[in-house]
Amino acid sequence: MSGSSFGTHFKISTFGESHGPAIGVVLDGLTPGVPIEEADIQKELDRRKPGQSSITTSRRESDRVHILSGLYQGRTTGTPLAMVLYNQDQDSSAYEHVKEAFRPGHADFTYQKKYGIRDHRGSGRASGRETAARVAAGAVARKILEQRGIQIVAYTQRAAGVSCQEIDYGVIEKNPMRAADLEAARMMVRRIEELKAQGDSAGGLVECRIIGVEPGLGEPVFDKLEAQLGKAILSIGAVRGIEFGAGFSLADMSGSRSNDQIFSTGFDSNRAGGIVGGISNGEEIAFRLVVKPTASISRPQASVNSKGEEIEIQTEGRHDPCICPRIVPVVEAMSAIVILDMIKRQAALQAPQVEYSSGIEDKE
Amino acid sequence: MSGSSFGTHFKISTFGESHGPAIGVVLDGLTPGVPIEEADIQKELDRRKPGQSSITTSRRESDRVHILSGLYQGRTTGTPLAMVLYNQDQDSSAYEHVKEAFRPGHADFTYQKKYGIRDHRGSGRASGRETAARVAAGAVARKILEQRGIQIVAYTQRAAGVSCQEIDYGVIEKNPMRAADLEAARMMVRRIEELKAQGDSAGGLVECRIIGVEPGLGEPVFDKLEAQLGKAILSIGAVRGIEFGAGFSLADMSGSRSNDQIFSTGFDSNRAGGIVGGISNGEEIAFRLVVKPTASISRPQASVNSKGEEIEIQTEGRHDPCICPRIVPVVEAMSAIVILDMIKRQAALQAPQVEYSSGIEDKE
Amino acid sequence: MSGSSFGTHFKISTFGESHGPAIGVVLDGLTPGVPIEEADIQKELDRRKPGQSSITTSRRESDRVHILSGLYQGRTTGTPLAMVLYNQDQDSSAYEHVKEAFRPGHADFTYQKKYGIRDHRGSGRASGRETAARVAAGAVARKILEQRGIQIVAYTQRAAGVSCQEIDYGVIEKNPMRAADLEAARMMVRRIEELKAQGDSAGGLVECRIIGVEPGLGEPVFDKLEAQLGKAILSIGAVRGIEFGAGFSLADMSGSRSNDQIFSTGFDSNRAGGIVGGISNGEEIAFRLVVKPTASISRPQASVNSKGEEIEIQTEGRHDPCICPRIVPVVEAMSAIVILDMIKRQAALQAPQVEYSSGIEDKE
Amino acid sequence: MSGSSFGTHFKISTFGESHGPAIGVVLDGLTPGVPIEEADIQKELDRRKPGQSSITTSRRESDRVHILSGLYQGRTTGTPLAMVLYNQDQDSSAYEHVKEAFRPGHADFTYQKKYGIRDHRGSGRASGRETAARVAAGAVARKILEQRGIQIVAYTQRAAGVSCQEIDYGVIEKNPMRAADLEAARMMVRRIEELKAQGDSAGGLVECRIIGVEPGLGEPVFDKLEAQLGKAILSIGAVRGIEFGAGFSLADMSGSRSNDQIFSTGFDSNRAGGIVGGISNGEEIAFRLVVKPTASISRPQASVNSKGEEIEIQTEGRHDPCICPRIVPVVEAMSAIVILDMIKRQAALQAPQVEYSSGIEDKE
């Protein structure tokens, strides 16, 4: 399997560079008969698109989705559903200085070493624009999960040193940070604008909750639910770590505190983050990820060019001073893709549905 | 793909329950001609085996490896190499109380929900014993990587609230915690023994360094090096989080601090943990993971039985009060498996080696 | 994915060389709760084992199956089920002359070229003994399919120039050729014994019918049902061709003859062999394969040794003069594995089962 | 894995319906640095396109390829290369009668049963138009193989009862049948025109040779070279059988005749078709496939509609009376894709290149 596909029983395959003709994604293994329209997908893409506020890049990307296959009379046919977003406004001149130089924090150096050739324009395949294809795919997955009663909510929990003090899902789409606390959001924006003014950028934390997942999803021992979610989230460009449930705080707990006790009414806590033994336990699935500060900053930094000569480099162009708000829909999309894949895997595991009860007695 | 295989170009498939006849692993895609003997594997298994000290379980598991295929005259043949460890000392009576009850922090409940049937003896497939198969597979991968000059070192960085103050790889195998600091190790042991005496257990942090990896490994955009390592590590039973390089501390950094600047002598820092854009950059690959406290504790806990009735449960039997020292070789094994797979993927990507230079001119 | 695994949603991974310690197979993705015992598997293995008659090799292979995992109280647990057959009677001396020579019709030369190292004893991994692992896996798959009302019947249709004149499934297990016609079987045996006396061997045709498969199995456009069955069957050592339904005779038909017309009572013919557009249509799935004559013959043949020098070679040892009767259970096994995998894939495709009818109107 | 991807180390994923917006393909795992231009691909597409002669359909399909990603300055970047062909001239009115009826020999019935929904226009996903995506992908693979000295040649060996009497590769592209014998081609055309005038169609045989493949390709035991080629070819719509080398004629041979003897100058014959033990032996790879007569005929046939009522159906529209000439480039394309994948798998198997010789002595 190559690196641009994700999933086993429901699979997405993405393609595209930032300044090439288009980016896109093919979904294979999609449930047939599901009503989907481009508007369902556009809605999610619009949440990811640039230019939404002072703290997102002012680049214009139309991000208009075109469905090329897999639909008939507004419903999925069970055949591959391909979506394409044509690239526009691709002024590559801002990247001319990168052609022969490696920007700190960017994949310029590693792509050159791996492939021996590199599309430097807009970071090529390594561009954050690649995540639009994930969001498009995730929008389709979410539509199916919603019918099953599964909701996915992500939000900026902390950015530029400011944390949400309360969690109100209702305000997430009402502030430019996609924070769950309006007051905190205001402070985050203020600090990020300060950093931006200094030619700098900020990192943060994003939290995600998957609500309504039945017990039983996850495929031990390697494709455990946290392993698949972890891979999905860590494959997003700026993410450098992930923790489930109580996460890193478990290092200092004792077992008597960390175990979620069970009562007839259910678990009394959710330090497990909804996953035990790699399988969902019916509680909310909860994880947190760290987003590194945007690598593109206008402050001068030390680097080398392709001849190995030391240079000073400043990233020009329009960039997000903090990527958190735009990573939120990507986290939700990848989560939806993992959950749909796992639902299909559980269906495959249990198939065919046969009665074996007759004649079977418990013996040891 | 089913959940008990890992890897694409080098693949391991494990099997086995704690109290069934055996556990084992099949390695497929192994480089032919490599000298391997059972002693190479046994050495690693002995690092993982129980009964090594006061803070590991006193259970006796012989963990004697038997190679069943894939070797000829002491060298790999390129065909699947299968290894089996027969189970012994399987007194299942200590688990009788679990047959109809669900232990907090254990996979009893989720396995029952997922599969509808469950081998309760010694936690069945969900047992930590499953990781012996990973260690056996990893020992083979490491042998190949060592020839390539790649070293993998993991150690307990923190346990029961005590952190290593200095990092000395030379002492890791000389203390029961596999800590990198002898003094810290002594304090860790003391605190864990206290917790054990109280019928309780401890968590911790494990750090891993992969040294000598050339630039270019990792397969964007989904099979990035951190995504594959993340999946591999998060698939280990007690692991609840992972971070790369500066990890979660990046949330509060600015971009001008987090970017590793580049000089003609190389990178001036390694906050990226050796991976940029999902591809190794030639620096040490560095990650840290959190290990939850052992779920099996002898303190009474609240739970329910299979009829949903509330009960009080105490985990009897012999268990590790802190799993960190025994998880260290598992982390190394999974890391080795990922790196070998990635080396093979890079070879596949570049193949066939053809000269295309003639007649090609740079044009835009 | 490496070459020793087959299947996607139900997967088997085999290992083992003819004269190594053991051969075996791991089944992953197995439906939980299915009653299986070693006797179910042994029954199928005994149909494949050598020494059944004058026209099968007199080699003794105990072929005694040992289940190592995945069973609890006689039922599958949904975790990997591993089976091992230990090798016995491995007198490798008969193969000493092959160590440095390449037998015509055997994989000696190609294994040497591919791997650069080769276990020459009993043909190593290229031995027909490898198929015992397939039969063991297939026995488990068949058990599940039988509960679903699916039957698989293969038989020798032609051997040594003699064809079955009538098809009576009831006699297949009552003659050493596994032919579907007792009279033809007697003539086949006579001719094969003659060839054997001359130090020679015979080829033949095997036909297979899969009965009771519902419409809808198969995954266009690449994993069509005939493509997967074709791969499965062509991966069996001596098979050199396969045709579905009317097969090669379609080359000379006109479309008005080859199309199966449809009536309210069903299809009026089955020239499609039960598969249209890569998907089962509810008719019997029918295919035929050609089995090459056994490569091991005692007549002298021209060959070269590893130094490239010309030699004369005679295959010593005990070999089947015609492999058809022993390939029949292998064909059935591989067919069962494909069908079970496809049932699971169809379940995955359709999952999750959601109602989308409300509000959906046919529009164009 | 879903059914619209093929290959493991080099993978293609296709999408698209006949009368939807577009068809296309994504190539993943492509060697970086390879010069490719749209003209390379268009050339192969033009060989497959309709309207080339009196015996191909007069439908107009522009089949103009657009590369959307994976190229930079005319060279592959190692990232996914996506290609799209927009559909035009999609007059679906000719298919109105199929909306509620099942055509004999077509996938109408089976798609309806599998998916529960069906794009009836131009056969939807089951259209032969899907193979244009394969040809586009194959064109890229061929370009790489040619640099390695590998040539692939397919031709119509027999059609409408007429066989080539001699094999001249030089004339294949000079006659509308893509036969290897001009005289035979003329007779084929005459007979097919007669059948067409009667509202009927013809089948045939296609042969393929892969020249210049080094020994060592193929991945036993399941992904043998003939198994992968067999799957690839059997996944093409109208193909109902495949045989390698001497193929079905081996049924009546003796082993002393069928084995290819080996001399210091090489093999004295090629009844194995260039593959032994699932691995290429350095000889020409040779296989033959049967193409069923075009299912779409204008003669009235018996069928049923979606209510199960018996009807009489005539396929209107413009169809190829014999599909052989247009299947030839598809066979070549799929062969190229398999061989490139296998070259990459062999590179992965052998990696990393390490010296193990020192200290290794032959011992038993």
In a domain, A363, yes or no: no
Of B220, B340, B350, the CB nearest to D31: B350
Which residue would you say has higher pLDDT here, A63 or D89?
A: A63
Q: pLDDT exceeding 70 applies to what percent of chain D?
A: 94
Is pTM beyond 0.90? Reply is yes
Please check whether residue C84 is in contact with residue B84, taking contact to mean a CB–CB distance below 8 angstroms. yes
- Give the list of residues 6+ apart from residue D265 with CB closer than 8 angstroms, or none: none
How far is residue C252 from each of residues C247, C271, D128, D292, measured CA to CA in Å?
11, 13, 21, 9
Separation CA D193–CA D177 (nearest Å): 12
Residues of chain D numbered 216-255 and touching chain B (CB < 8 Å): 220
Separation CA B310–CA B316 (nearest Å): 19
pLDDT of residue D363: 39
pLDDT of residue D164: 98
Best residue in A36, A145, A279, A344 to probe C by mutation, most C CBs within 10 Å?
A344
In a domain, B242, yes or no: yes
Please check whether residue A296 is in contact with residue A317, taking contact to mean a CB–CB distance below 8 angstroms. yes
Structure tokens at C56: 């099968």
Burial A214-244 (b: 16+ CB within 10 A, else e): ebbbbbbbbbbbbbbbbbbbbbbbbbbbbbb
- Sorting pLDDT into bands at 50, 70 and 90, what band is A1? low
- Type and span of the H or E element at B196: helix B182-197
Verify whether the Cβ–Cβ distance B203 to A256 is below 8 Å: no
pLDDT of residue A343: 98
- Comparing alpha-carbon positions, the chain D residue that sits nearest to C301 is D261
In a domain, C364, yes or no: no
Q: Which of C113, C170, C137 is nearest to C48 (CA)?
A: C137
Instruction: Write the DSSP string, A37-82.
Output: -HHHHHHHHHHH-S-SSTTS--------EEE-SSEETTEE-SS-EE
pLDDT of residue B362: 42
CB neighbours (10 Å) of residue D189? 23
Residues of chain C numbered 83-102 and touching chain B (CB < 8 Å): 84
DSSP state of B307: T
A208 at D interface, C-beta within 8 A: no
pLDDT above 60: residue C92: yes
Verify whether the Cβ–Cβ distance D218 to C110 is below 8 Å: yes
pLDDT of residue A53: 77
- Give the list of residues 6+ apart from residue B334 with CB closer than 8 angstroms, or none: B6, B134, B138, B229, B232, B233, B235, B236
Separation CA A10–CA A343 (nearest Å): 9
Neighbors of chain B with 3 or more C-beta pairs under 8 Å: A, C, D
Mean pLDDT value across chain C: 92
- Sorting pLDDT into bands at 50, 70 and 90, what band is A222? very high
Separation CA D361–CA D352 (nearest Å): 21
- Comparing alpha-carbon positions, the chain D residue that sits nearest to B150 is D352
Structure tokens at C192: 């094969």
Mind listing the pLDDT tens digit for each residue in D227-266? 999 999 999 999 999 999 999 999 999 999 999 999 998 8
Please check whether residue A316 is in contact with residue A94, taking contact to mean a CB–CB distance below 8 angstroms. yes
- Type and span of the H or E element at A279: strand A279-280
Residues in chain D: 364
Mind listing the pLDDT tens digit for each residue in B172-199? 999 999 999 999 999 999 999 999 999 9
Structure tokens at D68: 């959307």
Separation CA D231–CA B43 (nearest Å): 43
Q: Which of C7, C111, C82, C311 is nearest to D218 (CA)?
A: C111
Shortest Cα distance, chain B CAs vs residue D342, angstroms: 10
Mind listing the pLDDT tens digit for each residue in A75-128? 999 999 999 999 986 677 878 878 888 999 999 999 999 999 999 998 999 999
Average pLDDT on D84-97 reads 83
Please give the distance of CA B362 from its chain centroid, rounded to a whole number: 46
Shortest Cα distance, chain B CAs vs residue C108, angstroms: 13
Verify whether the Cβ–Cβ distance D226 to C246 is below 8 Å: no
> Which residues make beta-bridge pairs with A16?
A23
DSSP state of B184: H
Separation CA A163–CA A156 (nearest Å): 9
pLDDT of residue B363: 39
pLDDT above 50: residue D358: no
Mind listing the pLDDT tens digit for each residue in C299-325? 999 999 888 899 999 876 668 999 999
Mind listing the pLDDT tens digit for each residue in A36-48? 999 999 999 999 8
Verify whether the Cβ–Cβ distance D79 to A14 is below 8 Å: no
D2 at C interface, C-beta within 8 A: yes
In a domain, B337, yes or no: yes
Torsion angles phi and psi, residue B30, rounded to 5: -70, 135
The HSE-up count of residue B95 (CA atoms within 13 Å, CB side) is: 19
Q: Which residues of D touch B35 (CB under 8 A)?
A: 356, 359-360
Of C102, C237, C290, the CB nearest to D247: C290
- SS3 category, D88: coil
Q: Which residues of C touch B68 (CB under 8 A)?
A: 15-16, 20-22, 24, 84
D363 at B interface, C-beta within 8 A: yes
Separation CA C260–CA C239 (nearest Å): 28
Of C144, C349, C363, the CB nearest to A78: C349
Cβ-based burial of B197 (10 A; exposed 0-12, middle 13-18, buried ≥19): exposed
Shortest Cα distance, chain B CAs vs residue A274, angstroms: 10
Please check whether residue C224 is in contact with residue C280, taking contact to mean a CB–CB distance below 8 angstroms. no
In a domain, C360, yes or no: no
Please check whether residue A27 is in contact with residue A80, taking contact to mean a CB–CB distance below 8 angstroms. yes
Verify whether the Cβ–Cβ distance A234 to B226 is below 8 Å: yes
C279 at A interface, C-beta within 8 A: no
Cα angle D183, D184, D188 (rounded to 5 degrees) comes to 125
ipTM reported for the complex surpasses 0.90: yes
- SS3 category, C162: strand
pLDDT of residue A361: 43
Cα angle B78, B62, B109 (rounded to 5 degrees) comes to 90
Give me the amino acid identity at B329.
Answer: P
Separation CA C345–CA C352 (nearest Å): 13
In a domain, B355, yes or no: no
Give me the amino acid identity at C192.
Answer: I
Cα angle C184, C190, C193 (rounded to 5 degrees) comes to 135
Q: Which of A217-231, D59-73, D318-332 has the lowest mean pLDDT?
A: D59-73
Number of domains in chain A: 1
pLDDT of residue D60: 60
Of A13, A22, A77, the CB nearest to D119: A77
Residues of chain A numbered 106-165 and touching chain D (CB < 8 Å): 114-119, 124-125
> Which residues make beta-bridge pairs with A159?
A162, A204
Kindly give the parts of chain B with pLDDT less than 50. 358-364
- Sorting pLDDT into bands at 50, 70 and 90, what band is D93? confident
Neighbors of chain C with 3 or more C-beta pairs under 8 Å: A, B, D
Q: Which residues of C touch B22 (CB under 8 A)?
A: 68-69, 82
pLDDT of residue B52: 76
Please check whether residue B255 is in contact with residue A294, taking contact to mean a CB–CB distance below 8 angstroms. yes
CATH, residue C280: 3.60.150.10
Q: Which residues of D touch A13 (CB under 8 A)?
A: 5, 13, 26, 28, 80
How far is residue A167 from each of residues A154, A331, B91, B213, measured CA to CA in Å?
11, 18, 49, 42
Neighbors of chain D with 3 or more C-beta pairs under 8 Å: A, B, C
Q: Backbone dihedral region of B21: left (phi > 0), alpha (psi from -120 to 50 degrees) or beta?
A: alpha
Mind listing the pLDDT tens digit for each residue in D283-294? 999 999 999 999
Q: Which residues of A touch D75 (CB under 8 A)?
A: 117
Verify whether the Cβ–Cβ distance B309 to A264 is below 8 Å: yes
pLDDT of residue B59: 59
Mind listing the pLDDT tens digit for each residue in D211-238? 999 999 999 999 999 999 999 999 999 9
Of C66, C69, C116, the CB nearest to B32: C116
Domain region containing C252: 5-350
- Give the list of residues 6+ apart from residue C190 with CB closer than 8 angstroms, or none: none
How far is residue A110 from each of residues A114, A298, B37, C362, D83, measured CA to CA in Å?
6, 21, 36, 51, 26
Q: Which ranges of D103-245 does DSSP label H, i.e. alpha helix?
A: 108-115, 131-147, 182-197, 225-234
Q: Which of A45-49, A217-221, D129-133 has the lowest mean pLDDT?
A: A45-49
- SS3 category, C300: coil
> Which residues make beta-bridge pairs with B6?
B12
Mean pLDDT value across chain A: 92
- Sorting pLDDT into bands at 50, 70 and 90, what band is D272? very high
> Which residues make beta-bridge pairs with B242?
A242, B289
Q: Which residues of D touch A79 (CB under 8 A)?
A: 4, 15, 17, 115, 119, 124-125
Average pLDDT on A223-227 reads 98
Question: Hey, what's the torsion of the CAs at D39, D44, D47, D49, to 10 degrees?
Answer: -80
End-to-end alpha-carbon separation of chain C, Å? 42
pLDDT of residue C358: 41
Verify whether the Cβ–Cβ distance C70 to B28 is below 8 Å: no
Q: Which residues of B touch C77 (CB under 8 A)?
A: 17, 115, 117-119, 124-125
Shortest Cα distance, chain B CAs vs residue A69, angstroms: 23
B262 at D interface, C-beta within 8 A: no
Mind listing the pLDDT tens digit for each residue in C172-210? 999 999 999 999 999 999 999 999 999 999 999 999 999
- Sorting pLDDT into bands at 50, 70 and 90, what band is C222? very high
pLDDT of residue A59: 60
Instruction: Write the DSSP string, A63-130.
Output: --EEE-SSEETTEE-SS-EEEEEE-----GGGGGGGTTB--TTSSHHHHHHHHS----GGGGGGSGGG
Residues of chain A numbered 17-56 and touching chain D (CB < 8 Å): 17, 20-24, 26, 28-29, 32-33
pLDDT above 90: residue D2: no
B310 at A interface, C-beta within 8 A: yes
Separation CA A352–CA C193 (nearest Å): 45
In a domain, C68, yes or no: yes
Q: Which of B309-323, C55-69, D68-82, D299-313 has the lowest mean pLDDT?
A: C55-69
- SS3 category, B93: helix
pLDDT of residue A52: 76
Mind listing the pLDDT tens digit for each residue in C35-44? 999 999 999 9
In a domain, C355, yes or no: no
CB neighbours (10 Å) of residue B363? 6
Please check whether residue A71 is in contact with residue C363, taking contact to mean a CB–CB distance below 8 angstroms. no
Mind listing the pLDDT tens digit for each residue in C59-91? 565 689 999 999 999 999 999 999 999 998 667
pLDDT of residue A362: 43
